Structure formats: structure tokens, C-alpha cells
Amino acid sequence: MEEEIQSAYQQELQRLEQTAAEIDSQLQTLQNIPRYYGDDLTEQVLDNIRESQRHALAIAGPEPYFGRLDFEEEGKDAPAPLYIGKVGVENIDTGELLVIDWRAPVASMYYSFTGGEDAASYDSPDGVIQGLIYLKRNLVIRKQILQRVVDAYERGGENLAVTDEFLLYRLSENKDNKLRDIVSTIQEEQDKIIRSAKNLALVIQGVAGSGKTTVALHRLAFLLYQYRENIRAERMIIFAPNSMFLDYISSVLPELGVGGIQQTTFTDWALELLDHEIQLTDPADRLSEWFGIGAKRPVLTDDAPGRWKGRLSFLHELDEQLHHYEKTFVPEVDFTAWEGATLRYQTMQEWFYTEYKHYPLAKRRDRVHARIKRWMAMELDKVWEVHLRKDFKKSGSAKLRTFFKHWPAQTQFQLYKQFVANSQTMPEALQQSSVKLFKKKRVELEDLAPLLYIRDRLHGIESNDVFDHTVIDEAQDFSPFQVAVLKERTRSDSFTILGDLSQGIHAYQGIRDWNEFLSLFGEEASGFFRLDRSYRSTMEIIHFANVILERSGEPVTLAKPVFRSGEKVVVHAVAPDQRLETITRSVAHLLQSGDSSTVAVIARTDDEARILHEHLTTAGFEATLIHSGQRQYRGGLSVLPIYLSKGLEFDAVLLTDVDETRYELTPQDAKLLYVGCTRALHHLWLLHTGVVSPLIADLSDEIDTNVLPSS
Ligand SMILES: Nc1ncnc2c1ncn2[C@@H]1O[C@H](COP(=O)(O)OP(=O)(O)OP(=O)(O)O)[C@@H](O)[C@H]1O
């Protein structure tokens, strides 16, 4: 056995040397060719190709591949080894494929193969190809050094099922600052999503840590590879909850060799399109209202402003109002430029409603205006007396200006203000507060989608502004209205919409059920996936977090852990006068433990986080305070309010003040605490002074209560 392993290692060593030498030599050759900055188009195209090859080889160089699959295609007489890496590499002289791009059809078997003696298959452009798999091997290569060779499957061997050993090895590594690619360990259920066809709106419900964000980013890389003739990176867009989150995920796409994809938040994107005509109220006000403690929080109903204005029935009501606006847009008044020159309103209506029907409203108005001017010019030509012609021209223009005052060019905001004031269905309190706010030229987040909708009806959507693919992360916090607006701007309904209803902490604006989105697309054009396995946290952490979710009193899907065991979750009661000192000691302990390079101290509110940050800084720690305006994710030690922890992950998490007043037995608080706990990869500690939160009370078997280091 030992000998076999040694020989496999030697074999792989040799192969690696050859492949690495080929990559280095190709890269060297390309680097010797200077970049082209001239005007010749052919040269420019060639230079671009060389540049992307340089880029690909630079990615391949240090870690050329991560897996090997020996596959014997039906009709062939021997298995051929396929080496799978982030980018494909060919031997320049022989054309032999040294490394196969992970996105290539044949590589899909590396991810879908789960063992057994049966035939395996993949979809090639020429149809389904079948054959037998003889070996699946994981290889860890760093800086061209072969570090690990592990066979997950060998035909005829004892272990017929593909083992998770390599996945566990990857998961046990601790995290640096950013989210990373997972090409070497993509799981079968994730691979199905990544390789789904382009013209589908995919909705993915995935438990915390199931890899939703990561999978969505890999899907973009796949689409760009598979549909390279039809889609462009600059026409793809990712919507994420905030700028810091965008920074946190910013390494994955470059690691996969993909650049140029637009990444933004819905708010930033919408405000830009709306030409900053309006200002958004400070989101911090609403956040402190909803994430305040206890009695201060509003009751959550479907009449909450975000829920109400985000529903499709509001869109339909606006649609009706827009329709009415359009129908009455051309007044039933003739235009007389001068005596004897009258344009009947029926003619103008004919132009507006029939001839220019296909243009958006504002453009139609401009077209009719220009056409009336042309009509006046023709009428003038019929006037022979020169002095009259001059007078008519002047007075006709003045009359047209007055006449067009009946056709006011309204902005989307002016129209929206009227529509809201005229609404027959909006709850009165909401209508009044909106009208009051609009007087100050201010709007709330939930007004952005209706404003964009009206804007698009007025001005249309430029073909340059249409997306080839749209990703919405943390989509449970989006409204159907927002998705409807994005649907108008996304070609062929090509969407990846991902989120977790159990983490819907912004329920005052988000959805309750994925059907709220799916109904926008229809069955044929959409697909629904569930990811129930969680890869982030240890079994102990996931079991603990699941209990919290069960106590929420709402129907939930519990996360299934991969078999990775760690220490028990720590829950510790602290006397009030020991609180700060205990936090300091715990942080020091967690930072020193070997597998914690990122540690988060998670407080209940913004203010509590700020105070803790001050305390830790004074105690000599280098810590980053994460607040709602934060744009960069720095890693190391972070202090943050719990609602901002969504989407992030840390080797160790310390939740402070998990007591009955801060985390009540309500669905909202359960979701909030669930989000906080599921941020931890390896260590989860919770401290409380006073009575422990009912969400985690009486869990003695699951937890450790006695591990705090002594002072
Ligand atoms: N197949 C995989 N192999 C290795 N690591 C994985 C795999 N899938 C997910 N992970 C890891 O699990 C963690 C969670 O991934 P990600 O943040 O994408 O999940 P998520 O579902 O978006 O989480 P959440 O909803 O809790 O924010 C990351 O560290 C990611 O690298």
C-alpha cells in the first residue's frame, strides 16, 4: 500500500514538472512580446488575445490543477488521465490538452461522480458521452510544489464511494480576509446550479453556509466560459447588500480568471439611474428602528412600508395610473399657429398613439414636438408675403411653447408623487408619511423600484443598459417590485437569485416565500434549487444554531452539517462587573488559538458595538469597527452589530450580551441570533449577563459552560 502511494506520488511529481515547465515556457514567450498600443485593429485583437493568455497562464502557473480523473470513453481501449484546473492549458507543439478547464463539459464528471462501478457520462456539444471512471484523485499543489495526493476513488478498490476527506481538509483550513474560490471541492448539488442553462431564472434557497454566494460567483465564471460568444462580463451584474460585502467577495472572480463584472448595491445603482434627482433618507434611522431592543421595535405586518410598496399589486396600481396618464397625455385641443394654420388634435393623437406607439412616453412627446415644428415650417412655405412669414414664424414658435405647456415633461419623481397621493389602496398612514417625505425631495429605499419603473416607462431602457445576467445575493431582503424592475432589464430572464428565508432579518421589506419571485417568471423560465448542507461551521455550531431556529416558531429548514467536528459551543454567564474584563480575556484567548485568524465580537446594536470597540482598542487590541457605511472588509479582529454580520464569516465568533432582553423568544430575534451564530467556522462563544436568552436556555448537553480562561 505504502509503495503504491509512493509511486502515485512520484508519477504525479513527474507530470507536474512537465506541465509546470510548459506553462512557464509559454508565459515566458508571451512576456517577451511587448504590448501593442497602436491603432491597427488586427494588432489590437491579437494583443488582447495574448494578454488574456498571459492572464490565464499566470493563474495556472502556481497551481496548474487540483484533480485528476481517469476516464475511458466508450469505444476507446484505455482510460486517459484528465487533469482539471482553473484554466485550460494546451501543449503548444502537440495540441495535447495538459489541463482541462473546470468549466469544460468533460470536467463536469469530476464533480458529479459519486462513486460506484456504473458508467458515467457528460453532455458534450455532440451529445451524451458515456464511459467508465477508473480513478478520481485530489491533488494539492501550491507554488508548483506537490503537497498532497489523495485518491477519492479507484475502480475495483475497496472504497467504492467518493470520500469527503479532501473536502474536510479544505474546510478545516482557517480563513484569511476574503471569500475564496471552491473549484477543487465543488459539491454535486452545487455543480448542478453552477452549470444550469443561461436563460433561466434560478432561485436558490440555501441554509446558512451552504455556499450560495460562492456558487453564484462560480456560475458567472461558468456562463462566461460556456456562452462566450453571446455574453460579456461587462453586461453581467451582481447586487449585494452593502459595499463591504462586495469587498469581502471581491477575490473570488479574479481567482477564477474573471474580471469586469459590475458589482453594486440596489440603492447605489438605482440612485445613479435616477440622476440623483432625489435623496434617500438615512438608512441608519430605519435600521435602528427595526434593530433596536425590545419594545421600541414596530410590529411587523404586511403594511410595513417596505412590504407594502414592494408588492406587485402596487406595481399594477402604478401601471394603471401610468396608463391613464398616457391616455390623457395629448389634450383634445387643436393647435393654431397663426390664422389659417391649424393642426387638428386628432392628427397629433394619431402621431402620438399610433405612429410613435413603440417609443417610450418622453420620446413620443419629443417626436410630436419636433413634428409640429416641421409642420409649421411647411405651413410657412405656403405663405408668400415675406414680412408675414417672419411674423408668423416668431408668433408660431411662441404659441407652440404655450401650447406645449399642456404637455408637461414630468420627471419620474413628479409623477410618482402624484400617483402616491392618488393611490386608492395605500394605507392612509403610509400615504401621508410618504407625501410629507416627498415634499423634502426625500424617499425611502422601497420608493426606488417604483421610481425606476416609472423612469423606464418614460424614457425606455437603452440597449446598453440591459444585462446578460443578473445575480441577486441575500435576495430574501428584496421585494418582488425590485425583481420586476430588474427583470425588465435582464435579457432572457437570465438570473441567479439566492438567499435564505431563515436569515430574513429585514422581513419588514423582504419576502416570506420564494413564490413571490418565481411567479414573476413562470414555470418554464425558472428553476428552484435548495441547498441544505452547510459547509461553513462545525457540526456542534450547526446543531446549536438549528435549535435557535426551531425556537423561532416558524416553519424552517434545518441545515445539515458535513461531518466536521470541533469544540462545543461555549455559553457563559458573566457577572455585570466582570463583563468587560471577560470579553477582553475571551477575545485574547480566541485570537491566540491556532485556528483563528479572523475573530468577530458581535454585539446586539450599533451603539453597543461602538462601545465595545472603544473598550477593546483601549485594551490594546487592533480591531475594526464595522458600521453600516463601511466599504472595506479588513479581517483580523472585527467588532460589529449583529445585523451587519450577515453574509460574512469568521474563524471565531464571540456574541456578547445574549440575554433575555436583547434576544427575545420571537421569530425576528431568533433569525437575528441564528445569523450571528452561523458566522462562525470553528469557535462560537456566547456571553450573557442577567438571565440568558430563552432562545438558548436549557441546552446543557450541547454546550460548554466552563472553558473561559482564568484572569
Ligand atoms: N464545496 C465547497 N467546498 C469548500 N468550501 C465550501 C464549499 N461550499 C461552500 N464552502 C465554504 O463555505 C463557506 C460559506 O460559503 P458562502 O458564504 O458562499 O455561503 P452562503 O450560503 O452564502 O452563506 P450565508 O447565507 O450564511 O452567508 C465559505 O467559506 C465557502 O468557502
Among 243, 238, 242, 252, which Cα is nearest to 176's?
252
How much is the mean pLDDT over the chain?
90
Q: Give the separation between CA 631 and CA 186, rounded to whole angstroms.
A: 29
Measured from the Cβ of residue 358, the count of other Cβ atoms closer than 10 Å reads 8
* C-alpha pair distances (Å), 242 with each of 12, 239, 365: 44, 9, 38
Whether ipTM exceeds 0.85: yes
Strands (E), 160-313: 201-206, 236-239, 262-264, 279-280
Q: Give the separation between CA 203 and CA 138, rounded to whole angstroms.
A: 31
Q: Give the separation between CA 185 and CA 179, rounded to whole angstroms.
A: 14
Q: What residues flank ligand 1, with Cβ below 6 Å? A: 167, 170-171, 179-180, 182, 185-187, 190, 206, 208-214, 500, 503, 535-536, 647, 649, 678
Phi-psi region for residue 212, left (φ > 0), alpha (ψ -120 to 50) or beta? alpha
- Please name the residues in contact with 474: beta carbons below 8 A apart, sequence gap of 6 or more: 240, 241, 498, 499, 503, 646, 647
Q: Which residue has the higher pLDDT, 710 or 393?
A: 393
Among 623, 643, 644, which Cα is nearest to 634's?
623
Q: Are 122 and 130 in contact (CB under 8 A)?
A: no
Among 455, 451, 546, 436, which Cα is nearest to 502's?
546
Residue having the nearest C-alpha atom to atom 26 of ligand 1? 208
Minimum mean pLDDT range among 124-133, 201-210, 431-440, 555-564: 555-564
Chain-centre distance of CA 605, in angstroms?
Answer: 25
Q: Give the separation between CA 626 and CA 462, rounded to whole angstroms.
A: 38
The 3-state DSSP class for residue 245 equals helix
Among 706, 658, 654, 705, which Cα is nearest to 679's?
654
Which pLDDT belongs to residue 353? 93
Q: Where are the domains of the chain?
A: 1-173, 191-290+445-534, 330-406, 539-704
Residue range 76-124, pLDDT digits in tens:
989 999 999 999 999 988 989 999 999 999 999 999 988 888 899 999 8
Q: Residue range 339-352: average pLDDT?
A: 92
Atom of ligand 1 nearest to the CA of 184: 3
In the predicted structure, residue 303 carries a pLDDT above the cut 80: no
Q: How many A from CA of 12 to the centre of ligand 1?
A: 30
Confidence of residue 292 (pLDDT cuts 50, 70, 90): confident
Residue range 620-652, pLDDT digits in tens:
999 999 988 888 888 899 999 999 998 899 999
- Please name the residues in contact with 206: beta carbons below 8 A apart, sequence gap of 6 or more: 212, 215, 498, 499, 500, 529, 530, 531, 532
Q: How many A from CA of 462 to the centre of ligand 1?
A: 36
Residue 60 C-beta-side C-alpha neighbours within 13 Å: 30
Residue range 501-519, pLDDT digits in tens:
988 877 677 788 899 999 9
Probe ligand 1: pick from 102, 175, 182, 218, max atoms within 8 Å of CB?
Answer: 182
Residue having the nearest C-alpha atom to atom 8 of ligand 1? 211
384 CB burial (10 A radius; 0-12, 13-18, 19+): exposed
In the predicted structure, residue 3 carries a pLDDT above the cut 90: no
The 3-state DSSP class for residue 114 equals coil
Which pLDDT belongs to residue 130? 94
Q: Residue range 479-499: average pLDDT?
A: 96
Which residue numbers belong to the known binding site for ATP? 206-213
Cell of 668: 425576528
Q: Give the separation between CA 441 and CA 279, rounded to whole angstroms.
A: 6
Span 191-290+445-534: which CATH code?
3.40.50.300
Q: Would the CATH topology of 191-290+445-534 be identical to that of 539-704? A: yes
Q: Give the separation between CA 571 and CA 710, rounded to whole angstroms.
A: 15
Give the number of residues written for the chain: 711
Residue range 132-191, pLDDT digits in tens:
999 999 999 999 999 989 888 888 877 666 667 778 887 777 666 788 899 999 999 999
The 3-state DSSP class for residue 342 equals strand
* C-alpha pair distances (Å), 536 with each of 139, 191, 563, 610, 708: 22, 17, 11, 27, 24
Q: Give the separation between CA 139 and CA 141, rounded to whole angstroms.
A: 6
Residue range 7-61, pLDDT digits in tens:
888 999 999 999 999 999 999 999 999 888 988 999 899 999 899 899 899 999 9
Residue range 402-434, pLDDT digits in tens:
988 888 888 999 999 999 999 999 999 999 999
Span 539-704: which CATH code?
3.40.50.300
Atom of ligand 1 nearest to the CA of 190: 1
